[in-house]
Amino acid sequence: MPDKPMCSDEVYDSFGFDHNYSCTRHGTVFEDGKWWCKQHSPSGVKAREEKSARYHDERARQRHEKWAQERERERHANCFDDLVAALEQWHYQVHGLELDFEKCKDPRCVLASKAKEPITDY
Ligand SMILES: [Zn+2]
Ligand SMILES: [Zn+2]
């Protein structure tokens, strides 16, 4: 029994299984009946995997949130023209004139006419 145990992990390099070599660090953690360096101990590997999984979960959540926001914008854009048309119809029925905030000072009319204003400062 050597006085300083070595890590039990085998590290595979990028060439594959033929070139594997043992981890050269000393074993400082005793788990599952073997010595491991801190990085390769089963609990250390598990902790790193969990950390990585949390990171990926968070990234997935952010991606989903962004996707949901885009879908929501799309949904708004798709019904916008119909909404403006409905507002114009409502306005004509109620105030008997075209939607125009220059003529109509009712806050609802100002709001509604803003919705149909085209962008002019490209
Ligand atoms: Zn190791
Ligand atoms: Zn009005």
Task: Give the predicted TM-score (pTM) of the model.
Answer: 0.53
81 alpha carbon to ligand 2 midpoint, in Å?
Answer: 19
Confidence class for position 60, pLDDT limits 50, 70, 90? very high
What value does the mean pLDDT take over residues 63-89?
A: 94
Determine the distance separating the centroid of ligand 1 and the alpha carbon of 24, expressed in angstroms: 7
CA distance 3 to 122: 76
SS3 content of the chain, % helix, strand, coil (to 5): 50, 15, 35
CA of 94 to the centre of ligand 2 (A): 7
Each residue of 100-119: pLDDT tens digit? 767 788 888 888 888 888 77
